Chain A
């Protein structure tokens, strides 16, 4: 490729490729999140086991690094493109009517993206950082016994709060499973957090409304038969995925 990032078109390919990958990521993420709606102890255990799987499985790890890279690259590339675009018109129009020729979201991808980025930082701090490094409660069985990361209930086991290990009779039975489910439930009892999540999902919806089909155009796919299908699929994606994300905190709050 002539220049990793030099040419305007190459920047657009990267924008499209990372964007489409992040669309796939959203599908995976929302499927995982929907487990939060499974009621009772069963749902709680399933979600916490899922959280262990997501943080320990090597394949998931590779995918998560690709995701971090995609987000970072999408952001940096977006900033570079926006800066070049602003430079291309140093003096704007006194009177302009862009609403006559294009949709709002297509003209505001940068602003929407910034809102989403701020949300990602907030969201990572809220759950990801807390889960990995913060102090969050440990998962216990229905009878109150601790559970290891591998899902084993240790009857009469004790959790060492320093090492986060489940101890029984002075021996290590395994690392204690953290109760991310409880953490999520608590967070979504706070009205402003629920509001932040819902608003951010609206921003993602608008971003996807233009971004999904735009990515295909950027990599050179514009076809009489398939493009109308891609566009409709993009609109459906832009509504359904953020809606599924957004109803989870709302349902938890109302419960």
Chain B
């Protein structure tokens, strides 16, 4: 396959960025999207691909390359993680594209995800939301009850598990027209508060996590549903409704 790539290049957080065109050839349709970028970078390094603007190899986030770590984050052809459904960028294959196609590649765009370099963004705002309440304060004094010994309704276990599949990649924020982090935060709130260990702190958790979410500068949810469609893990909008409900209850029952 031969492709024209239009990639966002930006040297640093404060630098001005621009879209730069690259021509790549000999791309196999069995390659993953990240492998295609690897080919581009090899070409830029050995000089066989014209490095316009002397930006050097394209910087991008990646880690496991098997769709579970949540590191890869590219906005491809106007969609988070590209045209595929239920896949991250690393699991997106070049067979999804046509020979000779032009592909636009941009970083996640959100005030709360500042660009570090090229396609790499700083998503530590998610970490700070987790630190605000996305945990269970378990007492591990040796008397901790075995989790498997506590009866849990099947539905709760299913909902909690579905929510827990969120890998925190930020595709929801990238896709949302308001850069809202509601799908991520609601998945974390749901995953913890539906299980007995997390239940005791549920009021405090939802209030603190929402407070941190607002302070990080994420936008508001307008229920467009874009996040749910683009989420590589299929996290449901139902979680957002549950968080809205939890927050309403917490607002009336605490302080």
* CB proximity of A207 to chain B, nearest CB, Å: 12
Q: Evaluate whether A220 and B242 lie within 8 angstroms (CB atoms) in the complex, with A88-B178, A93-B109 already known.
A: yes
Q: Which residue of A lies closest to B80 (CB)?
A: A101
Cβ contacts A11-53/B at 8 Å (1 or 0 each): 1110000000000000000000000000000000000000000
* CB proximity of A137 to chain B, nearest CB, Å: 46
Question: Is A9 touching B79 in the complex (CB atoms < 8 A)?
Answer: no
Q: Does B184 contact A (CB under 8 A)?
A: no
Question: Is B220 touching A97 in the complex (CB atoms < 8 A)?
Answer: no
- Residues 151-169 of B contacting A (Cβ, < 8 Å): none
Q: Does B218 contact A (CB under 8 A)?
A: yes
* Contact partners of A222 in chain B: CB under 8 A: 237-238, 240-242
Q: Evaluate whether A81 and B230 lie within 8 angstroms (CB atoms) in the complex, with A89-B178, A217-B244 already known.
A: no
Partner pick for A87 among B6, B111, B251, CB 8 A cutoff: B111
Count of B interface residues, CB-CB < 8 Å: 50
- Residues 84-98 of A contacting B (Cβ, < 8 Å): 84-85, 87-98
Question: Is B77 touching A95 in the complex (CB atoms < 8 A)?
Answer: yes
Question: Is A219 touching B244 in the complex (CB atoms < 8 A)?
Answer: yes
Count of A interface residues, CB-CB < 8 Å: 40
The segment from B25-33, B61-69, B127-135, B207-215 that touches chain A is B207-215
* Contact partners of A221 in chain B: CB under 8 A: 241, 245
Question: Is A93 touching B75 in the complex (CB atoms < 8 A)?
Answer: yes
Question: Is A217 touching B220 in the complex (CB atoms < 8 A)?
Answer: no
* CB proximity of A45 to chain B, nearest CB, Å: 45
Q: Evaluate whether A220 and B248 lie within 8 angstroms (CB atoms) in the complex, with A8-B213, A96-B78, A214-B222 already known.
A: yes
Q: Which residue of B lies closest to A1 (CB)?
A: B251
The segment from A102-110, A124-132, A184-192 that touches chain B is A102-110
Q: Which residue of B lies closest to A16 (CB)?
A: B244
* CB proximity of B167 to chain A, nearest CB, Å: 18
Question: Is A219 touching B248 in the complex (CB atoms < 8 A)?
Answer: yes
Q: Does A57 contact B (CB under 8 A)?
A: no
Q: Does A7 contact B (CB under 8 A)?
A: yes
Question: Is B79 touching A85 in the complex (CB atoms < 8 A)?
Answer: no
Question: Is A101 touching B77 in the complex (CB atoms < 8 A)?
Answer: no
Question: Is B179 touching A102 in the complex (CB atoms < 8 A)?
Answer: no
Q: Does A210 contact B (CB under 8 A)?
A: yes
Question: Is A101 touching B175 in the complex (CB atoms < 8 A)?
Answer: yes
Question: Is B79 touching A214 in the complex (CB atoms < 8 A)?
Answer: no
Question: Is A101 touching B79 in the complex (CB atoms < 8 A)?
Answer: yes
Q: Does B224 contact A (CB under 8 A)?
A: yes
CA–CA, A95 and B74, complex, Å: 12
* Contact partners of B242 in chain A: CB under 8 A: 220, 222
